[in-house]
Amino acid sequence: MKTVYIFHDAFSDPVSEWYPWMKTSLETLGYFVSVPQFPTPAGQSLASWEAVIRSSIQKWGDDTIIIGHGAGGAFALNMIEKVTQPVHGLFLVASYGGKIGHAGYDRVNETFFEKPFDWSKIKNNAMIIESFSGEGDPFVPESTSVELAQNLGIKNQVIPQGGHITHADGFTQCVPVLQGIKESLNALEKTISPELVQEEVQQKPVNHLTDQITPQEISSDQIVKKDGSPTRAHTMYQDMSELVNSNTGSVASSLLSKAREDEAVVKAFSPASTRNILYIMGTVIVIGVVLGIIGYVLYQNAPAPVAPTATPIHSLILADSHVAIDTSNQTSYALAAKIHEALSKPVQNSTILDIVYTNGISRVPLKTVLTKLGISAPDTFSDELNDPTFMHGEISDNGITSHFIVIPINHYDAAFLGMHDWEPTLVRDLGIFLGLPDAFIRSLSSTKLFTDTMIQNHPVRALYYHAPAPIDLTESKPSTATPVVAIPTISVPIKYSDYIKQLTQTPVVPTPDLSNPLLSITSPYKDGNLMLAYFFINEHTLVITDSTDIIPKLLERYANSQIYQ
């Protein structure tokens, strides 16, 4: 069965980029097209990806085409090494065969190129190999694309203004790759029967090597120049005949490239007179005007693009895994329960989890989440909460899980003043995102003040925890001295029974083992510990966190996350 496998890039999935378009386009050519879902970025490795397609690799053959995008190309190189018979074609898009100097990608893809590739085996196991890269790719340097092509013995094809050839670069289609596949199919069909090739060679005049050479002047492998010297009749069909006897991908690809050049020369028209030139120019102008009018009419009447059913998950801070929370049709209680559930699950050590809030289709802004929870940010800051790319994350480091919120902002001054206005209730409002117990949040005083400090070489507004004054749980002994009448305060130890009365405002019978509900709350802080802090990474990004120890890790992941912005 004619089969095509499309291997998606890291941090992507089968319904992103131009993969659905390519699948539909190739299915119209009679191919069965598979776009497997690989685990990424969490759990991504050569072994985990190979496990997805292991059962099908043994079926690959001369009717199989492999397309690999980015990391999918590096993975495809590994798989082509292992096939038992050559495949029809290997088409690499913005791919690489080693590190690319991008910390995020290199960390996730390192198992794909831990061992050196056997380039000779790869070239022998694919009849056609083509490499495409995008001009100005922000992740894969041009030198890396050229090096990959050289290792495969082919010429890299650069797509103008292609970038990484993703949806973000404007590519919902990938026409150059589809065209390359179609040309490879047409070219290899010529190689099915050597007799057919020979028959077509005898029928084809070759007029681009001499002035006028007729079929009678063509021998089996020579043509004669006007000076009488023989030369080889190097045509597309002889190149393809040579390709029949070669399983080397580099040879096949170079012959295909040569065939394209030869056909371009054959198709070039050399007018015999000025009249022909004017006739052609006039025809071209008329056709151009007609096509322009038709294109304009079609553009004006084109239906509006259909919104995708799902959008890829992107993170402002490079994340290792994602958990989605659907906020649509959720009560505040149900949404809070979902957040608690997400935070209660352990996070793998040295990784970052991105908790994504959606409406079932795409991300929603923090303002929407807060509104559903019954929380309102100050008016001075609420306008900064409309960006849906905000990130609520957990980070595990040395067995300790910390939390953070990253908020894209439009105006630094407005955001800074708005955060000052929010400080009195910031812990209460955002405590649910930091995993604090509700009872503990309610016990906090709203009068606690943030202070300016420098942490990890960053100016930070920090709120430190101050433990409440201890409560004397023992009955005081009667004093023989004359009692002094005084109003008890929180700083003066009082009897436990009196303390309970103050809490409940109802008479309580003193019981020695009566528990204190506040004392049953396990505080995550000790006296003097940081409770919450916020700082600005730059003039467009605000971070709120419960641990400043994670600042270096956040900055590193942020620097490597341009793909998400």
236 and 138, same domain (yes or no): no
125 and 264, same domain (yes or no): no
Q: 494: burial class by Cβ within 10 Å (0-12, 13-18, 19+)? A: middle
Last residue of a domain, one of 189, 215, 250: 189
Looking at 276-399, which runs of residues are DSSP E strands? 321-326, 352-358, 391-397
Q: Do the domain assignments include residue 288?
A: no
Q: Do the domain assignments include residue 102?
A: yes
CB 225 within 8 A of CB 213: no
184 and 200, same domain (yes or no): no
73 and 207, same domain (yes or no): no
Last residue of a domain, one of 140, 164, 189: 189
182 and 234, same domain (yes or no): no
92 and 201, same domain (yes or no): no
Give CA–CA dist 58/79, Å, rounded.
10
25 and 76, same domain (yes or no): yes
State how far Cα 162 lies from the chain centre.
Answer: 17
Could you give the residue ranges of the DSSP H alpha helices within 319-377? 332-344, 366-372
Q: Do the domain assignments include residue 484?
A: no
241 and 107, same domain (yes or no): no
71 and 217, same domain (yes or no): no
In the DSSP assignment, the letter for residue 216 is: G
Beta strand 64-69 with 87-93 is: parallel
64 and 132, same domain (yes or no): yes
398 and 529, same domain (yes or no): yes
169 and 246, same domain (yes or no): no
Q: Do the domain assignments include residue 168?
A: yes
- The residue range of the domain holding 527 is 321-467+523-564
Q: Do the domain assignments include residue 509?
A: no
Residue 205: predicted pLDDT: 43
Give CA–CA dist 366/371, Å, rounded.
9
Q: 486: burial class by Cβ within 10 Å (0-12, 13-18, 19+)? A: exposed
Q: How many domains does the chain have?
A: 3
Q: Do the domain assignments include residue 516?
A: no
> What CATH number is given to the structural domain containing 37?
3.40.50.1820
Last residue of a domain, one of 138, 162, 189: 189
Q: Do the domain assignments include residue 276?
A: no
pLDDT averaged per 10 residues in sequence order, the chain, 565 residues: 91 89 92 90 88 88 93 94 91 93 83 92 92 92 92 92 89 91 73 44 41 38 41 44 50 59 52 67 87 80 53 73 89 87 88 90 89 88 86 89 91 87 86 76 64 82 73 51 43 48 46 42 64 86 89 83 49
3-class state of residue 234 by DSSP: coil
